[in-house]
Amino acid sequence: MSDRTNELGQPIGFAVPDWSLCSRPPREPMQGRYVRLEPINAASHAQDLFEAFAADRENRIWTYLPYGPFASVDDCRIWIENTCLGDDPLFHAIIDGDTGRAVGVASYLRIEPAVGVIEVGHINYAPALQKTRGATEAMYLMMRRVFGELGYRRYEWKCDALNAGSCAAAGRLGFTYEGQFRQATMYKGRNRDTNWYSTLDTEWPALQRAFEAWLDPSNFDEAGMQKVRLAKLMS
């Protein structure tokens, strides 16, 4: 409940007196220690992504996405050309720092610079990226651009309420569960109830410290196992 009221005694939100609209995310790479994110294009990324995604022989990574799987490199290329080259959603390929090959995608979408709200979505990690330092770093780099570089106020994550992996990832990455929108949409001939999550600019400094501590090489032993969990660093 707000402790501010207007002249009628009605509660109102806190003032945002110096607000100016944000810039849209630029089409520029985001470089990390383990991965690099760069705007997707078919010529550079279709072959890599098709091969990386094909390593999931059961096609589990496609269950909660409205497209895929792709039967051929050409199908993957057509998807990129038809779906991924606009400004909203703004797709990025995630490049493995060791191999230089694309191993996943993620995008910004529903970008609202006037009110400082932006969403992350269309996240798809090939098996080679899943449960790696690079997987976490990719999300950190996208969040750092949103808050640290562009000054957005709110960063959203939405997913099928039945997608347990995505729900767990949102919580691990510092997003707060806000509720469920029932029968929010349909895809692949079935209903989708959508869970909403967000994190705010006021939460970013603590999240940044936690991400950077977790991603530091000193947090991993010689076998590559983490010493301190990200959740512990965020607590």
Over residues 9-34, the pLDDT tens digits come to 999 999 999 999 999 999 999 999 99
- Whether residue 185 contacts residue 195, with contact meaning beta carbons closer than 8 Å, is answered with no
Residue in the block written with tokens 């990455």: 173
Average pLDDT over residues 115-123: 98
pLDDT at residue 16, as a whole number: 94
* Distance, CA of 106 to CA of 121 (rounded, Å): 6
Residue type (1 letter), 38: E
Over residues 51-74, the pLDDT tens digits come to 999 999 999 999 999 999 999 999
Q: Which of 2, 25, 29, 27 is nearest to 13 (CA)?
A: 2
pLDDT band at 1 (very low <50, low <70, confident <90, very high): low
> Domains of the chain (ranges plus CATH)?
20-234 (3.40.630.30)
Q: Which of 115, 116, 120 is nearest to 104 (CA)?
A: 120
Percent of the chain past pLDDT 90, that is, above it, reads 98
Residue in the block written with tokens 């991924």: 84
- Whether residue 94 contacts residue 49, with contact meaning beta carbons closer than 8 Å, is answered with no
Whether the per-residue pLDDT at 3 is higher than 80: the answer is yes
Average pLDDT over residues 149-155: 98
pTM above 0.85, yes or no: yes
Over residues 181-193, the pLDDT tens digits come to 999 999 999 999 9
* Distance, CA of 180 to CA of 192 (rounded, Å): 10
pLDDT at residue 2, as a whole number: 72
**CB neighbour class for 52 (10 Å; exposed up to 12, middle 13-18, buried from 19):** buried
Question: Could you tell me if residue 188 is left (phi over 0), alpha (psi between -120 and 50 degrees) or otherwise beta?
Answer: left
* Distance, CA of 27 to CA of 23 (rounded, Å): 12
- Whether residue 119 contacts residue 110, with contact meaning beta carbons closer than 8 Å, is answered with yes
Q: How many CA atoms lie within 13 A of 159 on its CB side?
A: 23
State both tokens at 146.
């949103």
Residue in the block written with tokens 């009221």: 5
Average pLDDT over residues 144-154: 98
Whether the per-residue pLDDT at 140 is higher than 70: the answer is yes
Q: Which of 81, 100, 99, 101 is nearest to 91 (CA)?
A: 81
pLDDT at residue 55, as a whole number: 98
E strands, the chain, are 4-5, 11-12, 30-31, 35-39, 90-96, 102-112, 117-125, 154-160, 176-187, 190-200
> How many C-beta atoms surround the C-beta of residue 192 within 10 A?
20
Question: Which helix (H) or strand (E) covers residue 197, if one does?
Answer: strand 190-200
Whether the per-residue pLDDT at 80 is higher than 80: the answer is yes
Average pLDDT value for the chain: 97
